[in-house]
Amino acid sequence: MMAGEERGVEREKGQAAAFPASVGSTGGDRWGRQRVPMLLAGLGAMAGFGAALGGYALFFEPFSVRTERMALRLLRERPGIPSEGLNILHLSDTHFRGADRREHAKIAQVRRATAGEKIDLLIHTGDFLHDDRGLENVLALVDSLPKPRLGAFAVTGNHDYLFYSMRRAPVYTWRVFRAREEGAGSGNGGRPRVDVDDSGMALARRILRFGRYLLQNRMDGEPVGQNDIARLRRALEERGIQFLDNRAVRLGSTEVYLVGVEDWLEGRPDLQKGFAGVPRGAPTVLLSHNPDIIASEAAGRADLILCGHTHGGQIVLPLLGPAYTHSEQLARGEASGYTRRGNTHIYVHRGLGESIPVRFGAPPHVTFIRLLPAHEEPDMFCAG
């Protein structure tokens, strides 16, 4: 081979060796140009998914009224309950505020869910109203329900007394937390909780305790006005609903007693007064808006406690569960439905309405409970 031919071969090898690098560089530029549209597409998909979830929580689930049915046997031998049991329709937390389109849609669903049902008791465990503008729709809901054989009974909830603003909820919750730490219901014998110094470390410890307080399902709206609870009572009593304010009634010819207490937060609950006159050993159903009534020793006398207030968390997140249960006595997994303390059944209603107009993983519902006498092996079973 001649020298010139060798140099030509070397040039061809050099060009061949350089070619893959040139291809790699061109591919990198192409990938760089593709990454931006792909990233934008991914962000768009995430935004679309978020919008879909938001639309579901705002426009679908709040109107998806479910029907739940449950049969409960007493966990203690109690003479006097009918052998066929008592059929109870339990409602709670309607939170009507005069939003006609939303509320009329719910009323129509409740009417369909309860049509033709034969019930012995109609129970509502409070928060009829979000504010006074909702009274007309509350009455329309009551008028749509089947008539109970033994009567309709209710207790009041905190929203029946007051309406709240969530705009300043974090600031107001901090103030409530500080007041509790300083002894106002802090559970430490009324003594203020004082850090040993005023340094940044003390502030950090307080903020950490506040974080735990929030994680214990507390976020308090700031009271900004009063509802006309007297007008609400009068209007419902005219429709045959009896309010059980720290008092008891015996149901017709049965030996069953209903006991009701005022709201745990805004009323003056007095279980001792409520149980006065109820014979020991009588089958007893306790009505309380707030499930934290279970902290009272006297609540253990009840065979069944019906309550609401939690909305089932209203927003239930994967892994975490309910965002807030608004209860200091219930675990997150007990924020709605059936739970138990000793020989007492507890049923926590998710409600029909909302404090803010969204629901996710906690649909509204109506509940039919059949309360049965005990047998030798007490149990609880559900159907439907």
User: Distance (Å, rounded) from C-alpha 66 to C-alpha 191?
Assistant: 46
Over residues 19-30, the mean pLDDT reads 48
Write the pLDDT tens digit of every residue in 313-351: 999 988 888 888 888 899 888 999 999 999 999 999 999
Q: What is the mean pLDDT of the chain?
A: 83
Over residues 41-51, the mean pLDDT reads 57
Position 78, amino acid: R
Which of 31-40, 48-57, 255-264 is least confident? 31-40
Q: What is the pTM of this model?
A: 0.80
Q: Where are the domains of the chain?
A: 1-63, 67-164+226-382, 169-213
> Do strands 321-322 and 316-317 pair parallel, antiparallel, or not at all (unpaired)?
antiparallel
Write the pLDDT tens digit of every residue in 359-380: 999 999 999 999 999 975 444 4
Q: What angle, rounded to 10 degrees, do the helices at 229-237 and 135-143 form?
A: 20
Over residues 12-37, the mean pLDDT reads 50
| Residue 149 near residue 215, CB atoms below 8 Å | no
User: Distance (Å, rounded) from C-alpha 234 to C-alpha 193?
Assistant: 44
Q: Does the 67-164+226-382 domain belong in CATH 3.40.50.1820?
A: no
pLDDT at 135 over 90: yes
Q: Is 361 left (phi over 0), alpha (psi -120 to 50) or beta?
A: left
Looking at residue 199, what is its pLDDT? 61
E-state strands within 54-143: 66-73, 86-91, 121-124
Q: What are phi and psi of 336, to 5 degrees?
A: -155, 155
